[in-house]
Amino acid sequence: MSPRHFLTTEEWTRQELQLVLDRARAFKQGSDSSRSMQGKSIALLFFNPSLRTRTSFELGAFQMGGHAVVLQPGKDAWPMEFELGTTMDGEAEEHVKEAAQVLSRYCDLIAVRAFPKFTDWEQDRQDKTLMAFSQYATVPVINMETIIHPCQELALMMNLQEKLGQPDKKKFLLTWTWHPKPLNTAVANSALLIASKFGMDVTLLCPSPEYLLDERFMQAGAENAKREGGSLTVTHDIQEAYSGADFVYAKSWGALPYFGRWEEETGIRMASRHFMVDAQKMALTNSAKFSHCLPLRRNVKATDEVMDADYCVAIDEAENRLHVQKAMMATLLENQQ
Ligand code: CP
């Protein structure tokens, strides 16, 4: 049986994830119309904004006969505390210990989106909000993006399998791209995890060593590559990175050494605008497909020409969010029986 929660793909085997992906394909093809959530419900807790995640989870639950309750702590639900033993004399009205237990009495699943606070990576990398929910909830918990984005990983891998077939040994380029603000590393961490887990030859392209991802994910990527017969290569050379790529995946993120001191990162970031994905770079590839998790700033992260090209499959990936999340909700509910 697969794990109780879906917090990270690191806790799931390739085979367990493939079963979820196969189920997602059945949902997409319409060959699985089972109402696996009949009479069931999911609480969706959003500590941060969303378009795709909220819509696809709400509709996914509805399509399987279930119901989703959306809560935004601090907006339409009480602000929450996560530390134990603290004197709650600040903004928080509710402790996660009660909130997670109460929601578990009402709902069959709990899903959480809680981005890093972007001031101290040593704190953020502990993923305390998600960990607290998984500790105190008595129902399965799903990660809707924290320091990783495992639902996006499944949608990406479904897209990769649809476009490339067997992904093993295909060249997957994960490229840092320009953005005026330092963004979450979650999707980059996740792309590295899932591409390496499925045996791809992963190239990580970033402006300088300061943009390497957290050692936890670099190490997991290297271990996955070793186990699955793929590889993990880091480069700062744009031409070398794009050359022969079968799939280009773009994401911008903030350099971890500058967490909380972002003004010191601005110079490097401003000097790296040329990392934007454009048609000239894509022409170096092996007729690669291009994708991004979205939202994407046009002509900042990728040009209009790239986004409007036939090789851009970002919309397919966004659609896949619906199918993979339905498959994951159905799987976790079955594990409970
Ligand atoms: N890709 C993604 O998670 O989109 P949202 O932030 O709109 O949910």
153 lines ligand 1 (CB under 6 A): no
Q: State whether 24 and 53 are in the same domain.
A: yes
Q: State whether 301 and 271 are in the same domain.
A: yes
Q: State whether 89 and 18 are in the same domain.
A: yes
Confidence band for 31, pLDDT divided at 50, 70 and 90: confident
Report how far apart, in Å, the C-alpha atoms of 121 and of each of 5, 116, 236, 255, 286 are: 24, 8, 23, 10, 37
**Ligand 1: nearest atom to the Cα of 53:** 8
> What's the chain's average pLDDT?
97
The Å distance, Cα 56 to ligand 1 centre, comes to 10
How deeply is 96 buried, as exposed, middle or buried, from its count of CB atoms within 10 A (0-12, 13-18, 19+)? buried
Calculate mean pLDDT across residues 57-61: 98
Contact 37, 331 (CB under 8 A): no
pLDDT of residue 332: 97
Tell whether 257 is covered by a domain.
Answer: yes
pLDDT at 337 over 80: no
Q: State whether 256 and 133 are in the same domain.
A: no
- In this structure, the residue with its CA closest to atom 1 of ligand 1 is 293
| Per-residue model confidence as pLDDT tens digits over 100-153 | 999 999 999 999 999 999 899 999 999 999 999 999 999 999 999 999 999 999
Confidence band for 32, pLDDT divided at 50, 70 and 90: confident
Tell whether 28 is covered by a domain.
Answer: yes
Asked whether the whole model's pTM tops 0.85, one would answer yes
Tell whether 72 is covered by a domain.
Answer: yes
- In this structure, the residue with its CA closest to atom 3 of ligand 1 is 53
pLDDT at 227 over 80: yes
The Å distance, Cα 294 to ligand 1 centre, comes to 6
pLDDT of residue 234: 98
| Per-residue model confidence as pLDDT tens digits over 177-202 | 999 999 999 999 999 999 999 999 99
51 lines ligand 1 (CB under 6 A): yes
Tell whether 48 is covered by a domain.
Answer: yes
Q: State whether 324 and 267 are in the same domain.
A: no
pLDDT of residue 258: 93
* Domain harbouring 78, CATH code: 3.40.50.1370
Q: State whether 33 and 143 are in the same domain.
A: yes
Q: State whether 95 and 178 are in the same domain.
A: no
pLDDT of residue 3: 84
Q: State whether 135 and 218 are in the same domain.
A: no
pLDDT of residue 296: 98
- In this structure, the residue with its CA closest to atom 4 of ligand 1 is 52
The Å distance, Cα 51 to ligand 1 centre, comes to 6
Note down the domain range covering 240.
Answer: 152-317
**Ligand 1: nearest atom to the Cα of 318:** 1
Tell whether 271 is covered by a domain.
Answer: yes
The residue type of 152 is Q
Q: State whether 189 and 79 are in the same domain.
A: no
The 109-113 sheet, strands edge to edge: 67-71, 41-46, 109-113, 141-143
For tokens 């499959």, name the residue.
Answer: 313
The total number of structural domains in the chain stands at: 2
Q: State whether 44 and 177 are in the same domain.
A: no
**Ligand 1: nearest atom to the Cα of 48:** 6
- Angle, helices 150-164 vs 186-197, to 10°: value is 50
pLDDT of residue 150: 98
Q: State whether 240 and 266 are in the same domain.
A: yes
Tell whether 179 is covered by a domain.
Answer: yes
Q: State whether 133 and 162 are in the same domain.
A: no
Tell whether 2 is covered by a domain.
Answer: no
Calculate mean pLDDT across residues 268-277: 95
50 lines ligand 1 (CB under 6 A): yes
pLDDT at 233 over 90: yes
Tell whether 1 is covered by a domain.
Answer: no
